[in-house]
Amino acid sequence: MKRICYFVNWAQYRKGNGKHTYTEIDPELCSHVIIAFVAMTEDSHQLKATEWNDEDTETTVGVYSHVTDLKIKHPALKVMLAIGGWNFGTEKMSAMLATKSTRTVFVNDVVRFLRTRNFDGFDLDFEYPARRGSPPEDKGRFALLCKELREKFEEEAEQTSKPRLLLSAAVGCGKSTMDAAYDVPELAKYLDWIGLMSYDMEYSSKGVTKHHSALFPREDEPAGDKKLCIEWVVNYWMTKGAPAEKLVVGMAFYGKSFTLRSAAKHSVGDPKSGPGLQGPITITAGFMAYFEVCAGLKDGWTRSWIDTQKVPYAYNNTQWIGYDDAESMKEKAIWAASKGLGGWMVWDLAMDDFGAHYCGLGKYPLLHALNDNTPR
């Protein structure tokens, strides 16, 4: 099974023990490392690095080279580059997708960019085709892009006798996004895997607390809310024509939090009034890295387990967070293997307790829990 690890190039700016750089990557715990994100030039549909130290300069070695150099000691490791992300938006994607000739400029540039930097593949994280301002035609054009990239990768491999570049996509998991954005049989044909972003599913129709990455639905949820869990999403992709072995489950190394209406009602499914308070290091309302949750648990937050959904939550006074720990990661890894799925991907390395500073469980406790329960 694939064990895919996203490495983000912005966690280098976090303070104190939250600072995460390429030196923290453990290549034994990942089959693929994907660097997020590369961007695009304004009008010329070409790749462009996003951080000042991504690329080599005449006097310095960049992050891309540091990560691809891990292959020297770990020859089985694959290192890939991801384009897109939430903040990238859709405008430049739509402009590139618009015609065969703009897509061809992009496809040729992707091959040049990856090969000159020793990458093994490319991951499409556009959020999302035919959503967020992207026109409905982008659904078909995105599928065409996948086809044209795959064909170019095959042709290039033949010409150069190098192993073919890998091609994957990370996809949204809300039903309306899935329906609008993805031609599933076409994507399954051309992508090496489809990475399901099976997290951020915490919005409930009732204004109550909900776990953002539950494995299973809750019996007492409204029917629509039952679709916001990993099992439902995986089954939906399969009914739409994706073979199990092409599907990769997204594993969240973070929690999504709420402020409760009342400190006395702190279960899953209880009324919320808004997002939770920000964590001290990630500084984002409604969100905390796993290591920040560990710090809270040490300081007196109460942990509880949602047995029907196989995930934990924690609360303190009016603060509530649905998150993942080693126990839920184990449940999810075993379930993914039992379904015959292609593997899992983690978002992201920098939010595990990578340096063993917070949880008292050694380095990368979540990533270890996944590895320990995944057949090779």
Ligand X SMILES: *[C@@H]1O[C@H](CO)[C@@H](O)[C@H](O)[C@H]1NC(C)=O
Q: Using the minimum distance from each CB to ligand X, give the nearer residue, 319 or 371.
A: 319
Q: Could you give phi then psi for residue 90, rounded to 5 degrees?
A: -125, -10
Separation between Cα atoms, residue 269 and residue 309, nearest integer Å? 12
Residue with tokens 């590369």, as numbered in its chain: 38
CB of 303 to ligand X, least distance (A): 12
Q: Which residue is nearest to ligand X (CB)?
A: 299
Which letter, b or e, does each residue of 47-82 get, where b requires 16 or more Cβ atoms within 10 Å of its Cβ?
Answer: bbbbbebbeeeeeeebbbeebbebbeebeebbbbbb
Asked if residue 301 binds ligand X (CB under 6 A), the reply is yes
Q: Using the minimum distance from each CB to ligand X, give the nearer residue, 160 or 317.
A: 317
Asked if residue 262 binds ligand X (CB under 6 A), the reply is no
Asked if residue 315 binds ligand X (CB under 6 A), the reply is no
Span interacting with ligand X, options 69-77, 184-192, 224-232, 296-304, rule CB under 6 A: 296-304
Catalytic residue from among 51, 127, 151, 202? 127
Asked if residue 296 binds ligand X (CB under 6 A), the reply is yes
Q: Which of 298, 299, 279 is nearest to 289 (CA)?
A: 279
**127 an active-site residue?**
yes
Query: Are 347 and 11 a contacting pair, CB within 8 Å?
Result: no
Separation between Cα atoms, residue 214 and residue 323, nearest integer Å? 9
CB of 5 to ligand X, least distance (A): 29
Asked if residue 102 binds ligand X (CB under 6 A), the reply is no
Separation between Cα atoms, residue 99 and residue 94, nearest integer Å? 10
Asked if residue 299 binds ligand X (CB under 6 A), the reply is yes
Side chain identity, residue 163 = P
Residue with tokens 């099974």, as numbered in its chain: 1
CB of 74 to ligand X, least distance (A): 39
CB of 149 to ligand X, least distance (A): 46
Q: Using the minimum distance from each CB to ligand X, give the nearer residue, 278 or 316.
A: 316
Q: Which residues bind ligand X (CB under 6 A)?
A: 296, 299-301, 316-317
Query: Residues with catalytic annotation?
Result: 127
